[in-house]
Chains A and B, each alone.
Chain A
Amino acid sequence: MDLAYTPRQKAFREEVRAWLAANLPREPLASYDTREGFEQHREWERKLFDARLSMVIWPEALGGRGCDLIEWLIFEEEYYGAGAPMRVNQNGQLLLGPTLIEFGTEEQKARFLPRMASSEDMWAQGWSEPNAGSDMAAITSKAILSADGTHYVVNGQKTWSTRASFADWLFGLFRSDPGSSRHHGLSYLAVPLDAPGVTIRPIQALNGKQAFAEIFFDDVKVPVENRIGDEGQGWHVAMATAGFERGLLLRSPARFQYTARRLVELYKANREVADRDPSIRDAVIEAWTGTEAYALSAYHTVGRLAKGARIGAEASTNKIFWSELDLKMHETAMRILGPFAELTGDAPEAREAARWLDGFLFAQAGPIYAGTNEIQRNIIAERMLGLPK
């Protein structure tokens, strides 16, 4: 155990810090759940990419910087610590990206990854269907290989696809063997969202914005080169993605530590009001202890990975931990803000309340997306503790 950063790690931190100080947008970007905000975030991603800071853990040849996971944690600390914009393309970059690196052909990596790193291509996820939510193996959308074997013909419907109204591509699972059921006969495809036969219908989310969409496929032709992994092996490939998602990458600790810091500041600025309810102080303390625990767990895991360990079902404890923590922190902020908490960004008296409200609304979804927390508890019980099905 040696908890000092190396000179190289320190220098990297300084570099990132200096770059962010010089390049952060002066004004906050518009919400990425709007077309305008989405494009602003795309521009910001491009800027990060040009500085080779968009995907620091990817190899240089793919538009990354070849950093190890400790450096990635450092990057995230500086990034969120500086209050930098949310990462609009993270479903592609953090979920599909590692999947392609593990399962993609060389051609696919070259075709998709650099454009993903630069956000020239923005990616939406296509897992859920109207009748396949938690039970993802119930999906029925089909991708049938053409007789000449050159392309799939896709029919069916996906739903809840985050920012699909604005995205360029979709990745997800389709049933390529029509006679199959459950986890078998599925293939993992990348589908361009401007292909003929694709219809996208935005769904308004809790915040009134087009945060996700349903997608209809009507005889959409998808070249066979867009299949990731083997035909019929889609479930296996998708599970790797789900692992990345629940595990470390999607929710690095820094984002929550930043929220905890803001919460402590909010509490200190409003102590007279907040202390009338003693449970608020407790919750503020727990914001710090919880986010530190999450960060420590990430460093511990990264260290174990570096020594050759693999993340197993314990990734599911991560998902529960961060989503409940994030919710609790935002609930606490709402309680401190009291009668101002309901004010939206349009309210002249909202001040910092509107930002907390946005975060509060999104935090409601944390225990639902990326596999609900009930499903995670099932996984922990069955795969980590070995309890019977």
Chain B
Amino acid sequence: MDFTFTDDQLTFREAVSRFLMTEAAPEMLREIWETDSGRSPELRKNIAEQGLTALSVPEDCGGLGMDDVAWALMTQELGYYAIPDSLADAAYVAAGLITALPAGTASREEWLARIAEGSIRIAVGHPVNPLVADANPANLLLLADGDAVHAVPREQVDVEANPSIDLSRRLARVRWTPATATLIADGESGRALWAQTLNRGVLSAAGQLLGLAQRMLDLSVDYVAQRKQFGKPIGSFQAVKHHLADVATKIEFAKPVLYRAAYALAHGEAGADARVSHAKLACGEAAWLAARHGIQVHGAMGYTWEVDLQMFMKRAWALDAAWGDRGFHKARVADAILVEGAALGPGHTFEE
């Protein structure tokens, strides 16, 4: 029993953080926001050069074969820097789905190799999300027709942009017609793939929300230490302190929930759905509180376009309902704990 990360995992996280600190600075985010596509080929290229697109791809397809636990760390960094790229959708969520296909299905090996080298953008149209993120710049879309999974080239779908308040999110309504040529799984196996994909998408959003919460807390701590009123830093006022202490507490108790969920996914545990939904709820609440208290302690500055806080708040507001809103996730938790014979209480945190 060891519920901690290895030194290697922590070093990896450090490295990702250092990389994104320079590659995804807030000024850069703002520049990319202004572009039509909202995406930077340059950034994607750098990310690929770091090997970050290859994390989940199996080793025999040119990847690093890392599991969901590594992504629990990685996605926090993606959230912390609010990167304007749907990296996790392709490199984690789509890679997971494609890896789970039987060898030789469609272009499985080619797609995986291209994910690893960063030369393909894949959008995931899971039915839980009414709109598809990054459908427009995608090369390939994974789309649902009931239980069936289709891998549809971008040219074969119609895409209508639905702008989000978070300019880094590029959402679209996708219209398409299922065809046998694009079918990659259906029936029981399609259903299972979509279920796993849902959990990965949720975990990815949860990790990003937690990273966003930490970023907003850090920005707020910096701000209140430097802004003075009544002759002293506003961070010395107790009401301000308590706002931020509450955010720190929420974050502290969301982290291990995220890690437990990642482990449950990586090990295919039967109770993974509830663990993953719990993570989404905990991380979403931390992020929303960090936004609410963050803007409050920034005063009017927090309400401006100019101050960076807005970029992180908007991402947090958006992601909270991505991959299932709170009602969806509460229902999944309720299903698990209210069912007859549920394994609850002391001694069931790790064993069912």
Instruction: Kindly report which residue of chain B lies nearest to residue A2, judged by CB atoms.
Output: B2
B69 at the binding interface (Cβ < 8 Å): yes
Contact (Cβ within 8 A) B248 A384: yes
For A378, the chain B residues whose CB sits under 8 A away are 238, 241-242, 245
B330 at the binding interface (Cβ < 8 Å): yes
A-B interface contact total, Cβ < 8 Å: 171
The residue from A78, A293, A385 contacting B347, defined by CB atoms under 8 A apart: A78
B92 at the binding interface (Cβ < 8 Å): no
Instruction: Kindly report which residue of chain A lies nearest to residue B249, judged by CB atoms.
Output: A317
The residue from A3, A321, A387 contacting B253, defined by CB atoms under 8 A apart: A321
The residue from A5, A317, A374, A386 contacting B221, defined by CB atoms under 8 A apart: A386
A67 to B280 Cα, complex, angstroms: 35
Binds B, one of A99-107, A110-118, A200-208, A296-304: A296-304
Instruction: Produce 1/0 per residue, A260-295, CB < 8 A to B.
Output: 110010011000000000000110110011101111
B260 at the binding interface (Cβ < 8 Å): yes
Instruction: Kindly report which residue of chain A lies nearest to residue B257, judged by CB atoms.
Output: A293
Instruction: Kindly report which residue of chain B lies nearest to residue A381, judged by CB atoms.
Output: B241
A314 at the binding interface (Cβ < 8 Å): yes
For A267, the chain B residues whose CB sits under 8 A away are 338
A377 at the binding interface (Cβ < 8 Å): yes
User: Chain A at the B interface: mostly helix, strand, loop or mixed?
Assistant: helix
Contact (Cβ within 8 A) A293 B256: yes
Contact (Cβ within 8 A) A260 B236: no
Instruction: Produce 1/0 per residue, B220-258, CB < 8 A to A.
Output: 010011000000110110101110111011001111110
A370 at the binding interface (Cβ < 8 Å): no
Contact (Cβ within 8 A) A253 B346: yes
A293 to B261 Cα, complex, angstroms: 11
For B282, the chain A residues whose CB sits under 8 A away are 289, 293
Chain A nearest CB, measured from B255 CB (Å)? 7
Contact (Cβ within 8 A) B224 A387: yes
A70 at the binding interface (Cβ < 8 Å): yes
Given contacts A288-B344, A388-B232, contact A282 B241 (CB under 8 A): no
A81 to B221 Cα, complex, angstroms: 41
Chain A nearest CB, measured from B256 CB (Å)? 4
For A282, the chain B residues whose CB sits under 8 A away are 330
A302 to B240 Cα, complex, angstroms: 31
Contact (Cβ within 8 A) A296 B260: yes
Instruction: Kindly report which residue of chain A lies nearest to residue B342, judged by CB atoms.
Output: A264
A77 to B221 Cα, complex, angstroms: 38
Interface residues of A in 201-257 (CB under 8 A from B): 253-254, 257
Given contacts A378-B241, A387-B236, contact A260 B263 (CB under 8 A): no
For B155, the chain A residues whose CB sits under 8 A away are none
Contact (Cβ within 8 A) B1 A299: yes
Given contacts A5-B350, A258-B346, A261-B345, contact A293 B254 (CB under 8 A): yes
Chain A nearest CB, measured from B126 CB (Å)? 23
A387 to B243 Cα, complex, angstroms: 12
A163 at the binding interface (Cβ < 8 Å): no
Contact (Cβ within 8 A) B249 A380: yes
Instruction: Kindly report which residue of chain B lies nearest to residue A262, judged by CB atoms.
Output: B345
Instruction: Kindly report which residue of chain B lies nearest to residue A74, judged by CB atoms.
Output: B347
B259 at the binding interface (Cβ < 8 Å): yes
A135 at the binding interface (Cβ < 8 Å): no
A386 to B345 Cα, complex, angstroms: 36
For B307, the chain A residues whose CB sits under 8 A away are none
For A147, the chain B residues whose CB sits under 8 A away are none
B333 at the binding interface (Cβ < 8 Å): yes
Contact (Cβ within 8 A) A303 B3: yes
Contact (Cβ within 8 A) A81 B347: yes
Instruction: Kindly report which residue of chain B lies nearest to residue A292, judged by CB atoms.
Output: B349
For B254, the chain A residues whose CB sits under 8 A away are 293
Contact (Cβ within 8 A) B253 A294: yes
A254 to B241 Cα, complex, angstroms: 31
User: Chain B at the A interface: mostly helix, strand, loop or mixed?
Assistant: helix
Contact (Cβ within 8 A) B1 A377: no
Interface residues of B in 108-124 (CB under 8 A from A): none
Chain B nearest CB, measured from A332 CB (Å)? 14
Contact (Cβ within 8 A) B241 A387: yes
Chain B nearest CB, measured from A130 CB (Å)? 24
The residue from B1, B6, B345 contacting A81, defined by CB atoms under 8 A apart: B345
The residue from A254, A320, A377 contacting B346, defined by CB atoms under 8 A apart: A254
Chain B nearest CB, measured from A33 CB (Å)? 24
Chain B nearest CB, measured from A196 CB (Å)? 45
For B349, the chain A residues whose CB sits under 8 A away are 253, 257, 292, 295-296, 299
A348 to B348 Cα, complex, angstroms: 35
Contact (Cβ within 8 A) B330 A382: no
Given contacts A3-B350, A77-B346, A285-B333, contact A388 B2 (CB under 8 A): no
Contact (Cβ within 8 A) B346 A285: no
A389 at the binding interface (Cβ < 8 Å): yes
Contact (Cβ within 8 A) A296 B351: no
Contact (Cβ within 8 A) A300 B255: yes
A114 to B15 Cα, complex, angstroms: 49
Chain A nearest CB, measured from B336 CB (Å)? 9
Instruction: Kindly report which residue of chain A lies nearest to residue B260, judged by CB atoms.
Output: A296
B334 at the binding interface (Cβ < 8 Å): yes
B19 at the binding interface (Cβ < 8 Å): no
For A288, the chain B residues whose CB sits under 8 A away are 333, 337, 344
Instruction: Kindly report which residue of chain A lies nearest to residue B351, judged by CB atoms.
Output: A5
A76 at the binding interface (Cβ < 8 Å): yes
Instruction: Produce 1/0 per residue, A29-67, CB < 8 A to B.
Output: 000000000000000000000000000000000000000
Contact (Cβ within 8 A) B278 A1: no
Instruction: Kindly report which residue of chain A lies nearest to residue B262, judged by CB atoms.
Output: A1
Residues on A facing B (Cβ under 8 Å): 1-6, 9, 13, 70, 74, 76-78, 80-81, 253-254, 257-258, 260-261, 264, 267-268, 281-282, 284-285, 288-290, 292-297, 299-300, 302-304, 306-307, 314, 317, 320-321, 374, 376-378, 380-382, 384-389
Q: A260-B344, A386-B225 are in contact. List 17 more A-B contacts (CB 8 A).
A: A1-B259, A3-B263, A76-B346, A257-B344, A261-B344, A285-B337, A293-B254, A299-B256, A303-B3, A317-B253, A321-B252, A377-B245, A377-B246, A378-B238, A378-B241, A380-B245, A381-B244
Task: Enumerate the 4 nearest inter-chain pairs by beta-carbon distance, A residue then B residue, closest first.
Answer: A261-B345, A381-B241, A296-B256, A303-B4
Sampled A-B contacts (12; CB under 8 Å): A1-B259, A260-B345, A261-B344, A264-B338, A264-B344, A289-B278, A293-B257, A296-B257, A321-B252, A321-B253, A381-B244, A387-B221
